[in-house]
Amino acid sequence: MLKNLFKVIGTYFIREKKINIIRNRWAKSIKKHRNFDLISIYHNDIKKKSETEYINGRTWTDLNFDSIFSLLDRTSSSIGQQFLYHLLHKYEKDENVLKKRISVAKYLNANTKTREELQVPLLNLNNIGSYFISNILLGIFPSRPKYYWGIYLLSFLSFFSLILIPINSFFFFPFIAVILTNFIINRIYTDKIYEYFLALSSLNRLIFASIKIAKVKTNEPIEQIELLKKHSSLLTKLRRKLGYLVIDKSSLGELGEAIIGYLNLFMLMDLVAYIRTIVALEKYLFEIEKIFVSIGELDTLISLASYIEENPNICSPTFNNSANISFGDIYHPLLSEPITNTLNSLEKSALITGSNMAGKTTFIKTVGVNVILAQTIYLCHAKHFSSFPFVVKSSIKREDNLRDSKSYFFVEVEQLQEFMKLSEKSEKYLFLIDEIFRGTNTIERLASSSAVLDYLNNKSLVLVTTHDIELQNLLGDSFEMYHFNEQVENNKYFFDYKIKRDSCFHGNAIKLLEIKKYPNAVTEKAKETAKILMLQSNYK
């Protein structure tokens, strides 16, 4: 009686501690180390149907999506982390699915008690082993030993011959022969089966958490919870099947641990339990995978609910069929004090000029990020946002590939060649290109850039930044012109980070040299040279 009382009190305090953790984390960015090798396991295990279904690695890196993931990640479980990572990679073409997800996230945001009841069992899945569950469900499924029936037989014989020894001492010799055989078998299979024990133990945690979540009552049906309720009897059965295999043997005390150790070593208890578990998993693999996805998706939606609560200046997008983009007060989620921009309608590809640090690259990243977030989590960082569901491809961070002896310029040539091949397909693309062909001489850069951009513009939308103001004349008929520029007021130099429509053929670079008190001989010569070059180029 007293023991049960202590157990109830202990359970209460553990629960209260978890509730405090949940409340302290709510509507906040969680700063912690994230192991992306582990987080990406589930996404990497999924079989990809087509390249246009997912954001590719280069675009993910160019647009700093590891950092965006970290900002959005308020999940309670390792499984939730993995599912959020996968969700941010996957273009969802069915808007109804997106609307349903965000509706559940908003419901969980508004119903604190229900959300916390769900988060408590999810916290039990915040462990390393849970990252490897998908390896069992989607990767290489653990196999049974070829002659597994023989292992059952040897395990039985070890018990049977031990019982018969008191009846007839003759059975001592068969007993020794059997346990020696079992010892050898155990040594052979130990490494093969124990690599799965961590994941199987965490799978047991998943089943236990699913049983608890299935009991949570909601005011309106939530698809993920309803699925768990539907599989309640299966969850209970699997919980029993995995019981011995995942028992924490260290909690049994020294004597209990020693007994279990001998039973396993000479009577193959772990191996028998492993085989029984694999048989059960093989039979219900499809159902377990659905349970895994439901838990991951539920945790992800709670994470999005936390993000919505923290960020009132976000919106749900609308999708159009006109292959254009429009937005009001758009901003980049990673900027702590962002400057917003508005474009009523971007119907044509855009050439964006301006000096370094004026905001060109950040702007095309901002558009690309929000086009992707619109199609993955149905949230945009803007007052309003409308877009065609483009597949986004980028060429922003380009480096020399020393391993393959490829220069910076050659790497870019290959990337843009890939873009041209993609533009010939039926899918609509949004190409983001930063400082096109900046690794070659001016004449060939202008000639190549204008030809490539014209080609890409035929079927796709292109946002390209450049310092080459000459491209404005070369592409004036097919591209819309935008620019960012620095401001000089009262001998102070600053950026307003606001995009302006139309071409721009002037700058404040020489003025900045004057402000920084460069020698007059330098600034005056620079002014004269600039006038000559402007006249030669027939700038208006």
Q: Say if residues 327 and 385 touch (Cβ distance below 8 Å).
A: yes
- Where residue 401 falls among pLDDT bands split at 50, 70, 90? very low
Reported as a single tens digit per residue, the pLDDT across 503-520 is 776 666 777 777 778 888
CA distance 91 to 388: 12
114: Cβ–Cβ under 8 A, 6 or more apart, which residues? 108, 216, 217, 218, 219
Give the model confidence (pLDDT) of 420-479 as tens digits.
999 998 899 999 999 998 877 888 889 999 999 999 998 899 999 998 888 988 898 899
Checking if the pLDDT of 385 tops 90, the result is yes
pLDDT for residue 67: 97
Q: What sections of 36-132 are H helices per DSSP?
A: 36-39, 41-45, 57-62, 65-72, 78-89, 95-110, 112-123
pLDDT band of residue 481 (cuts 50, 70, 90) is very high
Its CATH architecture, for the domain 35-142+196-310, is Orthogonal Bundle (1.10)
Of 143, 134, 250, the residue nearest 193 (C-alpha):
143
**Ordered alpha helix ranges (H), 311-460:** 360-376, 408-423, 442-457
Tokens of 36: 């992306």
What does the alpha-carbon distance between residue 136 and residue 289 come to, in Å, rounded to a whole number?
A: 10
Confidence of residue 540 (pLDDT cuts 50, 70, 90): very low
Whether pLDDT at 31 is above 50: yes
| Cα–Cα distance, 409 to 481 (Å, whole number) | 25
Nearest to 500, CA basis, from 387, 296, 351? 351
Chain segment 231-246, per-residue pLDDT in tens = 999 999 888 877 655 5
* CA 139 – CA 142 distance, rounded (Å): 9
- Cβ atoms of 98 and 92 within 8 Å: the answer is yes
Reading the block at residue 314, the tokens are 């976000």
Show the CA angle centred on residue 482, arms to residues 355 and 487, nearest 5°. 45
At residue 255, does pLDDT exceed 70? no
Q: What average pLDDT score do residues 56-85 get?
A: 97
Q: What is the pLDDT of residues 154-175, one digit of tens each?
A: 878 787 787 778 888 887 888 8
Q: Global pTM?
A: 0.88
Helix (H, G, I), strand (E, B) or coil at 254: helix
| Bigger pLDDT: 418 vs 476 | 418
512 or 402, which is more confident?
Answer: 512
Instruction: For 275-285, give one letter per residue: b (16+ CB within 10 A) or e.
Output: bbbbebbeebe
223-230 and 285-310 helices cross at what angle (nearest 10)? 150
Helix (H, G, I), strand (E, B) or coil at 153: helix
Q: Where are the domains of the chain?
A: 35-142+196-310, 318-507
d(CA 501, CA 481): 6
pLDDT tens digit string along 3-26?
A: 555 555 666 678 888 899 999 999
Lowest mean pLDDT, pick from 113-127, 179-193, 333-347, 415-429: 179-193
Predicted pLDDT at 250: 46
Percent of the chain with pLDDT over 70: 89
Residue 400 banded pLDDT, cuts 50, 70, 90 = very low
- CATH fold, domain 318-507, is Rossmann fold (3.40.50)
Question: Do the first three CATH levels of 35-142+196-310 and 318-507 match, i.e. the same topology?
Answer: no
Q: pLDDT tens, 96-107?
A: 999 999 999 999
Structure tokens at 422: 């993609």
Mean pLDDT of 180-196: 78
The mean pLDDT value for 264-284 works out to 79
Q: Which two tokens stand for residue 372?
A: 């992707």
Q: What is the mean pLDDT of residues 271-291?
A: 86
